[in-house]
Amino acid sequence: MSRRQRLTLFSVVALGLSGFVLWAMTDLRSFGDYAGTYGVLLNKVGVSERHASNVVGAIVFDFRGFDTLGEEFILFSSVMGVAFILRSSLKIKDQRPLDAVSNDATRTVGGLMVPIVLIMGLWLAAYGYVTPGGGFQGGVAIASAAVLVWTATSYRAFARLTPAPTLDAIEGAGAAAYVVVGLVGLGLDGAFLANFLPLGTAGTLASAGSIGLLNWASAFEVAAANILLYREFFQEYVQTFPGVREER
Amino acid sequence: MLDLPPLTVAAPLAAAALLAVLGSHLPRHVVYLVATATALGTTGIEFAQLIGSWPDGIVHWFGNWSVQHHFPVGIAFTVDPINASLACVVGVLMVAALVYSWLAIPQVSHLYHVLMLVFLAGMSGFALSGDLFNLFVFFELMSVTGYGLCAFRQTSSSVLQGSLNFAIVNTVGAFFILLGIALIYGRTGALNLAEIARSLSGHRPDGLVVVAFVFIMVGFLTKAGAVPFHFWLSDAYAVAAAPVGALYAGIMSDLGYHAIATVYSDAFAPTFAGTATAAFRDVLITVGVLTVVVGAVMCFLEADIKRQLAFLVISHGGIFLCGIGLLTGQALAGSTLYVAADAMMKGALFLAAGYVVVVLGASDELLLRGRGRGRSHLPIAAVFTVAALGLAALPGFGTWLSASLIESSASSVGFGWLPPVLAAGTALTAATILRTAGRVFLGWGPAHDPLLTSSQADEPTEGEPSEEERHRLTLWALVPTTALLVIGFGLSFAPELANYAISAGRTFLDTGSYVDEILRGAHPVAPARLPGYAPDAGAWAYGAATTGGAIVLGLVGLYWQSLPARIHRRLIAMIEGPIVFVKALHSGRVGDMVTWLAAGAVALCAAGALAFR
Amino acid sequence: MAYYPFVVAAVLFIVGLYGVVSSRNYIHLAVCLTVMQSSTYLTLLAIGYVHGGTAPIYVGFPKHTRAVDPVVQALTLTDVVVSVVVLALILALTIQAHKRAGTVDPDKMTEMHG
């Protein structure tokens, strides 16, 4: 089809599709009138059953923890896939950094922000089942601390701080830890991902049983996976600089 | 027994994570050993699960969260013989693919094994899940690893085109599924299939339910490659490496169709009861027939072996969809057996095509004419021919037995016109493989054919194999290929297989007992007696028609240009127009593909809306 | 308006789909996929909203306070991860397309057709 034919066909199709989507959506309960059983039930039992005051966290790591396992491995495989696709063993650690930031203000403020963001990420991850946050959110924040290193300094500094083999190991370990905790639950309680640790007091760090373990496993995995992703893309970016020597 | 379902997913995932950490430090053979052993172990678990799922099924609630206050709070894997057997097919194909890779590409990065193991876990989970959102998560897991594996060894822009089209079109399909899930959640407040069924039953479906179900179906049909959602498939499967292609073709597409059967019969069947069931049957069969016909015709018109196989997958998928669409236990049994047997043939052919590309140097049938002659190529020629006959449902193969189940079921529900159409599609696709085998291994037929789409470049789309690989690839690589063929042949000799399958199929479609089992823990009533099925004369006629037709059409494909000039010219004049039109639709452009996807979605919504007005 | 968020979601879906269909640059296409993804987030979260409900975090207030649906939030979290992941893969493929095929225009990648 020529471009014009395609767009004409699409305009007709889009009209139909919008009609059907709106037809379906107007059959929903209006905004704010949620009356489903699942959410109400979990809000009721989440805290009492699992002593986790963040019910969303309890759902992500306990009630529907198996979904999260799948999601973790989706992230895991995509990083493997991107590494597969973009594989380029660029060794520029010892070259003069061509993308170094020279502005003092950027370097200072950026440099100061890195530990702040890192600690914030760790805090988000640690208290994930008590207050809003969790392994995923915390992991992404930790990864953004690494991006800040690159923004404030240069690729060389970033590469030195985030060696790929270490990140691979942390990512794999995080993913494996999640599966292992699940298997322990299978062995001890007859169900995969069953909660097997003492539940503690809701509202404190010592609560929610094995949700804490899963929380940290995913924090490490997500942080490492994100940093690996950024690393691959930064490498591609740095390669566009003239004079960068590629050593394979 | 209850522990088995999570192990089918947890074992490959654990091994994949382990390989990700240690793989770069281990020698290649150790990595291959770990991966193959894990795949073998998982297959063993899946077979044990299959045996254990008869006759009551296995239900595993993750996290020990089952039903609380009459509501399913957790995620369940609901294993019944039908989806357990599909999981077994996944395992068997993965073992064959890994063994073939070990022999053909021994020096590949450990990332390949990691992705393959996660792919195994994704497909197993997708086959077994009983929760709508969990089904989506495993769908995405399967897809994402698929995208990564497709682009492995990219040395040409066609690989990138295939992978990009694959990723983009499947992602749009996934968004449709998500929107459908959101809508259903908004209505029923549940994600567990049995609970959705209970919540929806007794109410006449309105706009929301219809559109939500259609959207979910659109996503799965896109993955499965039904027309008009199939355009990405021919590009992606043609560029994937042989072992990866074997997995895609053998089972990944068919799992998409199975997911539709699962979601329909476990969640939506009660609300669609009545006249809507007949309408749903009509819609599925229409899509199925369209897929069979377009797939078969395009298959016959291709010269690239892997694109032929891709269209063959599309066409046979249409047969599977028709079997599901008949909505009887017997047809579903036939479809599942058909998937299993056909998967062996398709998997073997993909591996064989990979072998041909490395050993003979190209993947285009016309370029390869005659290159396969000679005694050293006798084994691969035999593989091609046997696989083609298996695909043609030669009596004795598992494909014949399952086709006969579908055929007799179709006649019994008033779709007597369906078997001839399916037979024609089967014959045409198998004819293509026979034609290729004849041209490549016997040198029959001319080296030019204007009707076939040919790349005419002396470079396979998959990526130029290195000299080292050509040396390494010995006849041993045909062992996994032959093993798959033997399984596909031998399936028809498994005792009482058809009867067990029919019984399992009927139980699968029984939503009431499914809901009772999941939500109330009731034990399903064991089937009284196994049905006594035996292929009748109609089945033998079907098998003879498809096989004979395949041979005849194969010869026609080879020698049509030798027909007298008058007939020749009139033939061309008659079919050139439609052929050019259909081929032009397959432009390879992602914008066109997504437009057709949206158009298909609108058409299905309209059909659904009409069925309920 | 009782259905405003849902209408916005529908608009986002269609606009994103149009962007995908008419795109001349794979990066633009990937971002349009993100727009489509946003519409699914919006639908999910809007479905779960309860008038006068607080966040489902029970720190400091009694257990029986009315809260919004936590399940859709968990679903959206998974959804976000999935979209990031697919975006990364498509962008990686785009970089390779630019390097090997010299183009990022989807309409120019037609080596396989017919």
CA distance A227 to A233: 10
Percent of chain C exceeding pLDDT 70 equals 98
CA distance B256 to B224: 5
> Cα B486 vs. chain centroid, distance in angstroms?
19
C-alpha separations of B169 from B161, B235, B555, B592 in Å: 12, 12, 36, 10
Go through the domains of chain C in sequence order and give each one's CATH number: 4-108 (1.10.287.3510)
Q: Amino acid identity of B192?
A: N
pLDDT in tens, B512-534: 888 888 888 777 776 667 778 78
Q: Does C2 touch chain B (CB under 8 A)?
A: no
Kindly state whether residue A244 falls inside one of the protein's structural domains.
no
- State the total domains in chain A: 1
Q: Which of residues 125-144 of A touch C (CB under 8 A)?
A: 130-132, 134, 136
A198-207 burial string, b = 16+ CB within 10 Å, else e?
A: ebeebbeeeb
pLDDT at residue number B474: 75
pLDDT at A221 over 80: yes
CA-based torsion, C48, C53, C59, C63: positive or negative: negative
pLDDT in tens, B381-397: 999 999 999 899 888 88
3 state SS of B67: strand
CA distance C71 to B409: 42
Considering A44-58, A158-172, B216-230, the range whose residues carry the highest mean pLDDT is B216-230
pLDDT at B8 over 50: yes
Q: Which is higher by pLDDT, B108 or B604?
A: B604
Cβ contacts of A169-172, under 8 Å, gap ≥ 24: A169/B21, A170/A220, A170/A221, A170/A223, A170/A224, A171/A76, A171/A79, A171/A220, A171/A221, A171/A224, A171/A225, A171/A228, A171/B20, A172/A76, A172/B17, A172/B18, A172/B19, A172/B20, A172/B21, A172/B22
Minimal C-alpha gap between B462 and chain A (Å): 15
Closest Cα in chain B to A39 = B189
pLDDT at residue number B379: 87
Closest Cα in chain B to C48 = B186
Kindly state whether residue A100 falls inside one of the protein's structural domains.
yes
A-chain residues near B149 (CB < 8 A): 81
CB contact under 8 A, C89 and A78: yes
Q: Which is higher by pLDDT, B174 or B153?
A: B174
The two tokens of residue A119 are 């600690």
Q: Does B140 touch chain A (CB under 8 A)?
A: yes
**Stretch B322-331: mean pLDDT:** 90
pLDDT at residue number A155: 86
pLDDT at residue number A46: 81
pLDDT in tens, B180-221: 999 999 999 999 999 999 999 888 888 899 999 999 999 999
Q: Does A202 touch chain C (CB under 8 A)?
A: yes
**Stretch A59-65: mean pLDDT:** 92
CA distance B11 to B3: 12
Percent of chain B exceeding pLDDT 90 equals 49
DSSP bridge partners of B192: B131
Q: Which of residues 41-100 of C touch A (CB under 8 A)?
A: 43, 46-51, 55-60, 63-64, 67-74, 77-78, 81-82, 84-86, 88-89, 91-93, 95-96
Residue B573 neighbours by CB distance under 10 Å? 9
- Give B58's DSSP letter: E
Q: Are A56 and B209 spatial neighbours (Cβ–Cβ below 8 Å)? A: no
pLDDT at residue number B359: 86
CB contact under 8 A, B21 and A62: no
A-chain residues near B121 (CB < 8 A): 73
Q: Which of C43, C51, C78 sits opposite A32 (nearest CB)?
A: C51
pLDDT at residue number A248: 44
Q: Does A163 touch chain C (CB under 8 A)?
A: no
Q: Which of residues 12-51 of C touch A (CB under 8 A)?
A: 13-14, 17-18, 21-22, 43, 46-51
Q: Are B129 and B138 spatial neighbours (Cβ–Cβ below 8 Å)? A: yes
Q: Does A85 touch chain B (CB under 8 A)?
A: yes
| B338: nearest Cα among B311, B306, B313 | B313
C-chain residues near B234 (CB < 8 A): 112
pLDDT in tens, A17-38: 999 999 999 888 888 888 888 8
pLDDT at residue number B560: 82
C-chain residues near B155 (CB < 8 A): 100
Q: Tell the burial category of A154 from Cβ atoms under 10 Å away from its Cβ (0-12, 13-18, 19+).
A: buried
Q: Amino acid identity of B462?
A: E
CA distance B49 to B123: 15
| B588: nearest Cα among B260, B298, B264, B372 | B298
Q: Which of residues 204-233 of A touch C (CB under 8 A)?
A: 229, 232-233
The two tokens of residue B58 are 């296995």
CB contact under 8 A, C109 and B191: no
Residue A104 neighbours by CB distance under 10 Å? 8
C-chain residues near A17 (CB < 8 A): 14, 17
**Stretch B171-178: mean pLDDT:** 96
Minimal C-alpha gap between C49 and chain B (Å): 11
C-chain residues near A6 (CB < 8 A): 21-22
Residue pointed to by tokens 């008590």: A130
Q: Are B128 and B87 spatial neighbours (Cβ–Cβ below 8 Å)? A: yes
Average pLDDT in chain B? 88
A-chain residues near B22 (CB < 8 A): 172
The two tokens of residue B546 are 């498809």
**Stretch C91-96: mean pLDDT:** 91
Using CB atoms, list chains with 3+ pairs below 8 Å to chain A.
B, C
Q: Which is higher by pLDDT, C70 or A239?
A: C70
pLDDT in tens, C26-59: 999 999 999 999 999 999 999 999 888 888 888 7
Q: Which of A33, A74, A203 sits opposite C85 (nearest CB)?
A: A74
pLDDT at residue number B467: 60
Average pLDDT in chain A? 87
For residue B55, cis peptide bond before it (omega within 30 degrees of 0): yes
Q: What is the ipTM of this complex?
A: 0.95
CB contact under 8 A, B208 and A28: yes
Q: Which of B71, B109, B144 sits opposite A37 (nearest CB)?
A: B71
Minimal C-alpha gap between B278 and chain A (Å): 22
Q: Choosing among C89, C90, C107, which should be mutated to test the A contact, i.e. which has the most A CBs within 10 A?
A: C89
HEC profile of chain A = CCHHHHHHHHHHHHHHHHHHHHHHHCCCCCCCECCCHHHHHHHHHHHHHHCCCEHHHHHHHHHCHHHHHHHHHHHHHHHHHHHHHHCCCCCCCCCCCCCCCCCHHHHHHHHHHHHHHHHHHHHHHHCCCCCCCCHHHHHHHHHHHHHHHHHHCCHHHHHHHCCHHHHHHHHHHHHHHHHHHHHHHHHHHCCCCCCCCCCECCCCCCECCCHHHHHHHHHHHHHHHHHHHHHHHHHHHHCCCCCCCCCC
Q: Tell the burial category of B269 from Cβ atoms under 10 Å away from its Cβ (0-12, 13-18, 19+).
A: buried
CB contact under 8 A, A85 and C107: no
C-chain residues near A29 (CB < 8 A): 47
**Stretch B88-102: mean pLDDT:** 94
- Residue B277, CB-side half-sphere exposure with 13 Å CA sphere: 14
- DSSP codes joined into one string, B585-611: H----HHHHHHHHHHHHHHHHHHHHHH
Q: Are B190 and A36 spatial neighbours (Cβ–Cβ below 8 Å)? A: yes
**Stretch A139-152: mean pLDDT:** 93
- Where in the sequence is the domain holding A114, given as residue range(s)? 55-238
Kindly state whether residue A36 falls inside one of the protein's structural domains.
no
Closest Cα in chain A to B138 = A70
CA distance B360 to B458: 11
pLDDT at residue number B426: 93
CB contact under 8 A, C21 and A54: no
Reported as type and span, the H/E element at residue B146 is: helix B132-150
CA distance B409 to B361: 45
CB contact under 8 A, C112 and B161: yes
